[in-house]
Amino acid sequence: DAGVTQSPTHLIKTRGQQVTLRCSPKSGHDTVSWYQQALGQGPQFIFQYYEEEERQRGNFPDRFSGHQFPNYSSELNVNALLLGDSALYLCASSRRGWETQYFGPGTRLLVL
Amino acid sequence: AQSVTQPDIHITVSEGASLELRCNYSYGATPYLFWYVQSPGQGLQLLLKYFSGDTLVQGIKGFEAEFKRSQSSFNLRKPSVHWSDAAEYFCAVGVSGGGADGLTFGKGTHLIIQP
């Protein structure tokens, strides 16, 4: 049983560019959450998707957007990249109403 | 809004010694509490969780944690650490079951194991 997978593992972009990160949830999970983890910090909640809709959002600007597909996989899009967007982006999946979020290995984004 | 404080940024423990990592939370009702571990360059692995019931919860890798409502704490303990326990440890709080809500994390405690 595959766990949560994310792609790519690493990414380098320049300021002003746009990036798309991808996540496939654990088998049987229908909810995907995205987190940003800056160096030396704990993860910060970006948003959560369930039934292809954004259900909850953390304190992140509209430059951060997402999508969930019918097979429950998800994308995180970041527009107009800033240097401060450099971080590890973590995807977590869960079953709606269940308690445990399972995390993927993350995508490390570097913005130059 | 809820918050989590992990007062210790770094902790150094000798291999075989006992360990306690502190976590304090702020939330008006009974929270859902979690401890995750992160090895360098890796994602987060769940160690244990508390939702209700027995305030002492057992997790994987020999870890346990105790929920103390009066102190708003959820400290992580292990009786004897191994060199492989060296990692970053995060305490997190959820407010509606964790599966249907975003988690709020502390800043983490970096655990160093001395031989």
A-B C-beta contacts closer than 8 Å: 76
Q: Give the count of beta carbons closer than 10 Å to the beta carbon of residue A16.
A: 10
Q: Tell me B60's DSSP state.
A: G
Radius of gyration of chain A (CA): 13
Q: Do B102 and A56 count as a contact with CB atoms less than 8 A apart?
A: yes
- Residues 6+ positions from B115 with CB-CB distance below 8 Å: B14, B15, B83
For residue B79, pLDDT over 90 is answered with yes
Q: With an 8 Å Cβ cutoff, are A98 and B36 in contact? A: no
pLDDT tens-digit readout, A25-51: 999 999 999 999 999 899 999 999 999
Residues of chain B found within 8 Å of residue A103, distances taken between Cβ atoms? 36, 43-45
Whether the CB of B108 is below 8 Å from some CB of chain A: the reply is yes
Q: Is the pLDDT of residue B1 over 90?
A: no
Buried b (16+ CB within 10 A) or exposed e, B74-92: bbbebeebeeebbbbbbbb
The chain-wide mean pLDDT, for chain A, equals: 94
Nearest CA in chain A to B107: A42
| A:51-90 residues touching chain B, CB 8 A cutoff | 55-56, 58, 90
DSSP B12: E
CB burial of residue A3 (10 Å; 0-12, 13-18, 19+):
middle
**B24 near A CB under 8 A:** no
Per-residue pLDDT tens for A73-90? 999 999 999 999 999 999
Instruction: Say if the Cβ atoms of B43 and A33 lie within 8 Å.
Output: no
CA distance B27 to chain A (A): 17
* Predicted confidence (pLDDT) at residue A67 exceeds the cutoff of 90: yes
Task: Give A41→chain B minimum CA distance, Å.
Answer: 5
